[in-house]
Structure 1
Amino acid sequence: MILYGIPTCDTCKKALKALQSAGREVTFRDIRAEPLSDAEIADIVTQFGDRAVNKQSTTYRSFSDFLRESEAEAQIKAQPTVMKRPVIRDGDTWHLGWDGAVQDALL
């Protein structure tokens, strides 16, 4: 299982801690320190579409009009931290965020 996020994200920290406490083997992928490849961005956007972009974030709000009107893939490529977090890949199954449904599926 891979958890994509940033170490300063409280939601990522909660998800990682809960998954490890449940005995799940999790690899944390810091998307700042180890940027996503084009293929990984494409996979995430294919799975979640525009939902992969956190449009409530200050990062998104700081985008130029041109970038705001761009595809989600271009937005994440330009600024990876605009990605909604965490993104969790469990084998072939993908999860976005850390809500009750994701927790029920993984814990």
Structure 2
Amino acid sequence: MTITMYGIPNCDTIKKARVWLEGHGIDYAFHDYRAQGLEAERLEGWIGKVGWEVLLNKASTTFRALADEEKHGLTQQRAKALMLKHPTMIKRPVLDLGEQLLVGFKPVVYAQELSGR
């Protein structure tokens, strides 16, 4: 199974994760969801694996710019709709390992989960 990294190329965290993967000789495909889009079914699958609370980056500039009524009282459906409309609200990177999903970049977690690949 090919490892796929989802995100946007100009994100600093994406850049760090890419350098880490390349420095450890780990092949991956990059999916720019700003340019290539993100299917609702894929996002639903991610939500099923890790939960919308993990995926939604409330610290993002895009999220903080929302009107208060859009931010408060979030449900899974509302959060999913927001992330589909504004993919930059998804915490980056999302690394799809097939059965497993890594959200965000922590070198220690990458080393632990990707050893032997």
| TM-score between both structures, scaled by the size of structure 1 | 0.89
- Aligned pair count reads 107
Which digits, 9 at most, give the CA deviation of each residue in 1:47-106, with x for residues without a partner?
222110110111111112343244321120120000000000012111011112234212
- State the partner residue of 1:86: 93
User: Unaligned 5+ residue runs, structure 2?
Assistant: none
After superposing the two structures, state which structure 1 stretch, 77-86 or 20-29, moved more. 20-29
Mapped contact 2:58–2:64 kept (Cα < 8 A) = yes
User: Unaligned 5+ residue runs, structure 1?
Assistant: none
Equivalent of 1:60, from 63, 66, 71? 63
1:98 paired with 2:105, answer yes
After superposing the two structures, state which structure 1 stretch, 93-102 or 79-88, moved more. 93-102
| TM-score between both structures, scaled by the size of structure 2 | 0.82
The percentage of counterpart residues that share the same residue type is 34
The higher radius of gyration belongs to 2
CA distance in 2, matches of 1:66, 1:103: 40
